[in-house]
Amino acid sequence: MAATLQNSLKAQKKVLRKAISSKLSSLPGSSVEEQSQAVVARVLELPCFRRCKTISCYLSMPFGEVDTSKLVLESLASGKTLFVPRIQSKEGHMEFLKIYGTDDLASLPNGTWGIKEPEMHWQGKSRTNALESNSEPLDMILLPGVAFDRSLSRLGHGKGYYDRFISSYVATGRRRPFLVGLALREQIVGDKVVPMGAHDWKLDLVVTPDETLGGSTVEVVNTSDDTR
């Protein structure tokens, strides 16, 4: 019975993922650029984002999702500590590694799927990993996705990287970071449309070019000054 339900969930996700991916594949680059600018402007104005001291933000693919290049630069410029994802393909998981300034960010090589990724070392030293006990606690994670619904559910690309990382992070005893999805208009579907499994994490906010979904919770975020 459990296996049947799991297979049904995977099938539902696959159908929705295919439908949204088809829309995104025909989306002009000019539209992605315009929408990304609007989303980033909204994020920068969020009180919870302004208060955060340590964040993780994805580095965007060349197409089909909100471009975060300005957002990560603004985060560093404002003095925030920034972590970005690195896929460990052999182990099948993702880790978040610290970025040490704009020069470091600009020098990142292309990794999985053409996405810029940090190498394990920077200037001869091991990068700080967000899962390490001596790392700054993450206040917020800015997530990509294929689709988002109005009940703050997220559909990823099917690898489970983010959900596994969040579970691993919480398992260290630290408070769950504030989870914010960034979405193009074409990625938003109706209420409770995204299929959710037991290991899928709900978001706190979804920021679109036109609105912030879940905005009533925007003030509920703890920063690194709190006991974790």
Is 154 annotated in a binding site? The answer is yes
Burial class (CB in 10 A: 0-12, 13-18, 19+), 35: buried
The residue type of 76 is L
Q: Which helix (H) or strand (E) holds 168?
A: helix 161-171
Q: Is 100 annotated as a binding residue?
A: no
Is 159 annotated in a binding site? The answer is yes
Tokens of 180: 């914010």
Question: Is 13 annotated in some ligand binding site?
Answer: yes
Residue 161 annotated in ligand binding: yes
What the block records as the tokens of 207 is 């920021």
d(CA 225, CA 222): 8
Annotated binding residue 53: no
Q: Where are the beta strands (DSSP E) in the chain?
A: 54-57, 81-88, 93-99, 121-122, 125-126, 140-143, 147-148, 154-155, 178-182, 205-207, 212-213
Give phi and psi for 2, each to the nearest 5: -60, -40
58 is in an annotated binding site: no
16 is in an annotated binding site: yes
Residue 72 annotated as lining a ligand binding site:
no
* 158 known member of a binding site: yes
Evaluate whether 194 touches 8 at the Cβ level (below 8 Å): no
Binding site listing for substrate: 59, 65
Binding site listing for ATP: 13-17, 154-162
Binding site listing: 13-17, 59, 65, 154-162
